[in-house]
Structure 1
Amino acid sequence: MEIIQTIIGLGASVMMPIIFFIVSLVFGVRISQAFKAAMYVGIGFVGVSMVITLLLDNLGPASQAMIERVGLNLVVVDTGWPTASTIGWGSAIMPIVVIGFLLINIILLALNLTKTVNIDIFNYWLFLLVGAVIYASSKNFWISIIITYVLFILALIAADKTAPYMQKEFDLKGISFPHLTCLAWVPFGIAINWIVDKIPGVNKIDLNPETISKRFGIIGEPISLGMILGLGIGLLAGYSVPNILTLAINVAAAMLLLPKMINILVEGLIIVRDAAEVKLKKWFPDREFYIGMDTALLIGEPSVLASGLILIPIAILLAFILPGNKVLPFVDLASLMFLLAMVTPFVKRNMFRMILSGTVILICIFYVGTAIGPEYTEAALMSKIEKPEGIQYMTNIVGTATTWIGWLAIKVGDLLQSVFS
């Protein structure tokens, strides 16, 4: 566990190249090529991280300024995914759960019950977070661990099922995404798409980057969309003209640079994927395998980024008007595009349907976050995280605990505890 924690502490940009270098050698890639693949993956993650940080650092203050202008004063505060990941990795269940995940993945692969080799160890926190909240709520160590194992298995199965759609839409052959937070919202996208298809007139609305670019020319290109959205967010935040222009340029830069950084990362992935495909077909002629990766690979898609930006003011409006909502969206407002990452193929990159899906998703998140605020805060305290001054309860809006799956898992944990107590 000390070795695992040390590697995880290095961050994805260092951890993933190490993993990819080892995996490359296992599949017979020459040392020089294995090094190249590992470095491309590492450099890609550094680039993606830099662009995302640029985006978050600019959108975060703008989102907070919008909240201050609206005057929202709600008692369950979104403290963001960095705090959420610390809760997961700091939980008492972490050592047993992490070792269990590695063994479960190996066993399921050996039994041909999954195709996904989940090397996205950094995002194990998504499962650990739910387990930590279940433990805080039920006070039962083993119930929280068992339910967390079940969620991990379900994520592998769902990753297998969604992989063909992701691979086709994003041109990522051999890749799957066992990312529970994003997987949880796929049914919402499918349902919204089905409903819109049944509404005459509305079902003809088609907003995707290509159609927008074709109709509006340069105005419809990703850099122009980023510029326009940045200007709009800056105006809503009440920024001065220089600050509005700075925000607009930075958002446009992210729209242009993020896909390029992801392409570098994918170059490294292709080297490993191709070598793995050859070896695995030789070792297992009738089997197909996927490499499980982070959904950060998906958010470079312009429709995902643009829709995520549009959701920021929508989230603030919903927090204000939803009856019974106690969640104040805050730190994670700048990360809303992740909620739409895996929804995209199921709505055919139609931004109109993506925004509708995102709105329904946010409504669900606000009510789940309101319901589990006390348990989430207790989990944070149990992980030695101090509650910020002036905050009654904590939550995060882009995390697994505030998905419908997270809520259901917490309730199942409470039910099992009442049965066995």
Structure 2
Amino acid sequence: MLQEVNTIFQTFGASVVVPIIIFIIALLLRVQPKTAMMSAFYAGVGLTGFTWIITEFTPVVTKIVRQMVDNTGIKLPVVDIGWQAGSLAAFGSTVGLSFFVFGLLAELILFAVGVTKVFLPSNIWNNFGYMIWGTLALYVTHNYWLSLGLEFFMLLYSLALAEIQADRWADYYGIENTTVDALHNIEQVIPAIILDPVWNLLGFNKIKMTPKDFQKKLGVFGEPITMGIILGLIIGILGNLSSLGKISAWGQITKFAIQLAAVMAIFPLVTNVFAKAFIPIATEIDEQKKKQHGENKNSRYDKKRWFLVVDDGVGYGESATLISGIILIPIMVLIAFILPGNKTLPVVDLIAIPYMIESIVAVTRGNILKVIATGIVWFSLGLYSASWLSPVYTAAVAHYGVAIPTGVVLVTSFNLVARPLNALVFAAFISESPVWISLAVIIYLVMLFGLRKYRSQIWGYLNKMAMKNA
């Protein structure tokens, strides 16, 4: 049965399966069939648009990054080949497929009984983020039930983190009653919250570094397209430092600048299309809340408020998210070289950084300086995680049917594996020690208790901190 489900999903793909789920959810929420149908269509079109843009832009960015690396002459043994290989391996293992089927059922039950106020099945595609960790655990321990337990435990704490950030995410990205919960991106909630007061002590909150501030101060040079041109020229020059005297180099530099500007202009348009898939559902959730509690009910104090999980592509094209992510690309390449003990070279997944920083952007209210600073700290720790896990990741990916590129010894995924929190939980479970596993569970239960008892206070605190930014 598991293989049949996988075959169906792989045959139709996310751009067909996700719209069907959106359509069903909309009907269950009593959205009019016509509106539900259009929501489904917008979801399919949006996902297809994301795929086209990322598919076209990834090779361009990857080529520039490789040239930047070649210019340094430094070689690192672990190469980032992108999240796609990990996704294929996740669907190729029995424990991965088991979670894909039974994890969906668990998500529904957890929502129905109130363990979580986050409805995750609407973004079923990103379940491969849980599946890859179970796949790695199965390869190491050969213990099916332990590996499946790891996947379910990761599901539990990711839902808690998604709910903690939900009010801020929905407010910043402008779609009421929605949040994101991809396991490989949600853990950034933790450094965003912990480091934000530190950055305030350093005065980062008083520095006006948001897209709106750029537009006010710089005029036409602060427009997203112009900033795309400028960032593209800088990154292009860094990738061609050894050949700036050649006309071919400047051809690549100027082409990349235009291509990056195109992404800055087109991605928000696709994002708007994709967002239309969720607006009717989010609106219906809000209308039902008003009928139950009245027009003046503050949603921050509504214990029954729940959130629909959307694909993090919704936030990718937002200006502060995209600008911060692009700036972090050359920064993370540089850090990979100078970080003591690091063995990982981020390459292909660098284009995924805007996905990876959405929680940080939401918590800091689009303060680009804070986003970059937090990203540097957390992703640097992530490089150590990826370096440590590279032998296991390489062996597991090869074992479950994905060919390793010729000439590459060790591989990783910067987006999937460079995850300090997930790596710690993984280490606890593969130790097979009741002490470490129990400690992880206790920490989760404490977090869940705090969330259930003080959710409105947590949201109020995050909103207060967000408003401190200039």
**TM bin (shorter chain):** over 0.9
CA apart distance, 1:290: 1.4
Q: 2: CA distance between counterparts of 1:274 and 1:383?
A: 43
1:48-197 alignment to 2 at 5 Å?
A: 48-118=50-120, 119-197=122-200
2:256 corresponds to which of 236, 247, 251 = 247
| Whole-angstrom distance in 2 between the partners of 1:130 and 1:404 | 13
Give the number of aligned pairs: 418
Which residue number corresponds to residue 292 of structure 1?
309
Pairing partner for 1:35 from 34, 37, 59? 37
Q: CA deviation at 1:282?
A: 7.7
Q: Which residue of 2 aligns with 1:412?
A: 428
- For residue 272 of structure 2, what is the aligned residue in structure 1? 263
CA contact (8 A) 2:336 2:342 kept: yes
TM-score of the aligned structures, taking structure 2 as reference length: 0.84
Deviations for 1:211-259, whole angstroms, at most 9, x for unmatched residues? 1111110101111111101111111111622221111111111111111
Aligned residue in 2 for 1:368: 385
8 Å contact 1:188–1:361 — kept in the other structure? yes
1:188 maps to amino acid = P
Equivalents in 1 of 2:254, 2:22: separation in Å? 40
CA distance in 2, matches of 1:252, 1:246: 10
Query: Could you tell me how far 1:154 is from its partner in structure 2?
Result: 1.1
| TM superposition shift of 1:348 | 2.2
In 1: Cα distance, 2:388 partner to 2:133 partner? 14
In 1, the alpha carbon distance for the partners of 2:53 and 2:27 equals 30
- Counterpart of 2:361, as a letter, is T
- TM-score if structure 1 supplies the norm length? 0.93
Query: Bigger shift: 358-367 or 185-194?
Result: 185-194
Alpha-carbon distance in structure 1 between the residues aligned to 2:108 and 2:78? 39
For structure 1, which segment, 43-52 or 107-116, has the greater mean C-alpha deviation from structure 2 after superposition? Answer: 43-52
Q: Does 1:344 align with 2:353?
A: no
Alignment correspondent of 1:394 = 411
Would the alpha carbon gap of residues 5 and 155 (structure 1) be closer, same or farther in structure 2, given more than 3 Å must change?
farther
Q: CA RMSD in A?
A: 2.3
Distance 1:109 1:70 in 2: 50
Give the match for residue 323 of structure 1: 340
Q: Deviations over 1:281-325 (max 9, x none)?
A: 889997332111221111111111111111111111111111111
Unaligned runs of 5+ in 1: none
Worse overlay, 218-227 or 271-280: 271-280
Post-superposition Cα deviations, 1:43-88, rounded to whole Å, max 9, x if no partner, equal 1222222233343232121111111212231111111111121121
Deviations 1:135-179 (A, max 9, x none): 222222111110110110111121111110001111111112111
In the alignment, the residues of structure 2 paired with residue 71 and residue 186 of structure 1 have an alpha-carbon distance, to the nearest angstrom, of: 36
Instruction: Name the SS for the 2:407 alignment partner.
Output: coil
Q: Secondary structure at the match of 2:236?
A: helix
1:301 corresponding residue in structure 2: 318
Deviates more, 1:256-265 or 1:50-59: 50-59
Instruction: Give distance in 2, aligned partners of 1:347 and 1:33.
Output: 34
Q: Is the 8 A contact 2:175 2:282 kept in 1?
A: no
Matches of 1:187 and 1:233, distance apart in 2: 30
In the TM superposition, residue 339 of structure 1 has moved relative to its aligned partner by: 1.9
Offset of residue 24 of structure 1: 2.4
Query: 1:406: Cα distance to partner?
Result: 2.0
Q: Greater CA deviation, 401-410 or 222-231?
A: 401-410
Counterpart secondary structure, 1:416: coil
Q: Structure 2 counterpart of 1:257, which letter?
A: I
Instruction: Indicate how the Cα distance of structure 1 residues 173 and 392 shifts in structure 2: closer, same or farther if over 3 A, else same.
Output: same
Q: Secondary structure at the match of 2:308?
A: strand
In structure 2, do the counterparts of structure 1 residues 387 and 57 end up closer, same or farther at CA, with 3 Å as the change threshold? Answer: closer
Structure 2 residue corresponding to 1:7, chosen from 4, 9, 12: 9
AA partner of residue 255 (structure 1):
M
Corresponding residue SS for 2:79: strand
Uncovered stretches (5+) of structure 2, i.e. residues with no partner: 241-247, 294-301, 437-470
